[in-house]
Structure 1
Amino acid sequence: MSRNGLKIGGTFLSAGTCALAGCALLVRPRLLTWGATPEEVARTYPGDHLIAEAHSSSTMATTLPAPPEEVWPWLVQMGCDRGGWYSWDRLDNGGRPSARRVVPDWQSLEEGQRLSAVSSGRAWFTVAVHEPNRTLVLRSDVDLRSGRSFDIRAEPLPRAYVDSLWGFHLEPAPGGRTRLVVRGRGRSRPRPLTRAADVLFWEPAHFIMQTRQFHNLRERVTARV
């Protein structure tokens, strides 16, 4: 290739890199804080302390047309081995439709209980904080080499892992509604690789799945109003 060709190619590469960087600076903050107010983003929520030095964090929110005591039963029955996740079921519930009604058998939940994160049962969430009608925080610790969950208290830790929190926080809103704030926090290693994965894949994927869950929860609680 001629020098001019190399120069033109380098110019296009630099321009593309700058465009991607600019897109990340403009779009990424909106993905991580979709629907949340600045006050909600800045607030500390129950369970945040479990990952005090998080590498990543997101705060997303929506308002649901039912009081917290009517939203809570839908959250407490989540899990692949229970009512599903109310998101894109083909992606996170083995293709099985998430529950469209509150099931009494799935209303019992306690801290330390495991909820299957995937249909295979290889990975799970552990209930970390459980305050009925107020807060549900789920914790997931996954060995990235095997794709299996592990006990974060075990030593030594896997060489490559992710430790994450998925917290659901409910507050009464005017008109008998609920403000649902979802806080995500995580840490992982090896950080040079997991940071790239966070920005390029996990954060956009979480946005897609979380906004779908908001939509489906709104549909379900509306049907009961």
Structure 2
Amino acid sequence: MKKIEARRLAMAGGAAAGITAYLAFARPRLLRAGATDDEVQGPYSGSGVIPDGIRSATMAVTIDAPRSRVWPWLVQMGTDRAGWYSWDRLDNFGRRSARTIHPEWQEIAVGDRLAAKPDGSQWWEIAALDHERFLGLRMSLDLRGRPFDPAGTRPRHFTDSLWGFELKDTADGRSRVVVSGYWSFRPKWLQPLLSVLLLEPSHWVMQTRQFSNLKRLAL
């Protein structure tokens, strides 16, 4: 029995040490991958879109192309359109993201919906748009995965988030893409737990993959 208890204590201690190391060293890097202090701490577009929204992770990348060559790839995103340029098996239902610009998908407006599921039952709505400068996508769901009208009364339990893409010029003619956003969730006590255990690591995995593909596609 003493050996079993000692083994359990050792496992618990190892788990605690692992969690502490992740929170102290890995998580801070994950939350600001590629971003400068100014990009993390400064204002970010779309702050008024999500009522009582909390600023989410800020990630950034420099692309060897001007904003005019990056923007067309962003505006044609959507499961029913060009995909998301990330891990297609995970976020695009196995459909391959586009490798070319499609002129028919370039005209977008606030209020348009970019499908997040093939059947159209969930979507990202264009909530903010500034040509070649900012694209803000909003998803509003109850915790059964059903969309609700964010202009109306929110359900008792919900997730309401903005996924933003901010584009800036660099001094040498390249572009800087800064991805961040805002998130509101109820029940509120569950939000930090979901963020640390699920949202933050999964977002890092998908966003870094999208950055990598955008760097290649925009050339």
Tell me the equivalent position of 1:45. 44
Question: What letter is aligned with 1:49?
Answer: G
Structure 1 distance, partners of 2:61, 2:31, is 13
Question: What letter is aligned with 1:54?
Answer: G
Could you tell me how far 1:112 is from its partner in structure 2?
1.0
Q: Structure 1 pair 23/10, CA: closer, same or farther in 2 (3 Å)?
A: same
TM-score in terms of structure 2 length: 0.92
RMSD: 1.8
Provide Cα deviations, 1:79-132, integer angstroms capped at 9, x if missing partner: 111111111111111211111111110001001111111223221111111111
Tell me the equivalent position of 2:178. 181
Tell me the equivalent position of 2:21. 22
Aligned partner of 1:149 among 143, 147, 150:
147
Could you tell me how far 1:56 is from its partner in structure 2?
5.0
CA contact (8 A) 2:46 2:181 kept: no
Runs of 4+ in 1 over 4 A off after TM superposition: none
Could you tell me how far 1:49 is from its partner in structure 2?
2.1
- Equivalent positions of 1:163-202 (< 5 A) are 163-202=160-199
Which deviates more, 47-56 or 176-185?
47-56
Could you tell me how far 1:7 is from its partner in structure 2?
6.0
Identity value in percent: 45
TM-score in terms of structure 1 length: 0.90
Could you tell me how far 1:34 is from its partner in structure 2?
0.2
- Which ranges of structure 2 fall in alignment gaps of 5 or more residues? none
Question: What letter is aligned with 1:202?
Answer: L
- Which ranges of structure 1 fall in alignment gaps of 5 or more residues? none
- Equivalent positions of 1:46-195 (< 5 A) are 46-51=45-50, 53-55=52-54, 57-145=56-144, 147-155=145-153, 157-195=154-192
Question: What letter is aligned with 1:62?
Answer: V
Tell me the equivalent position of 2:214. 217
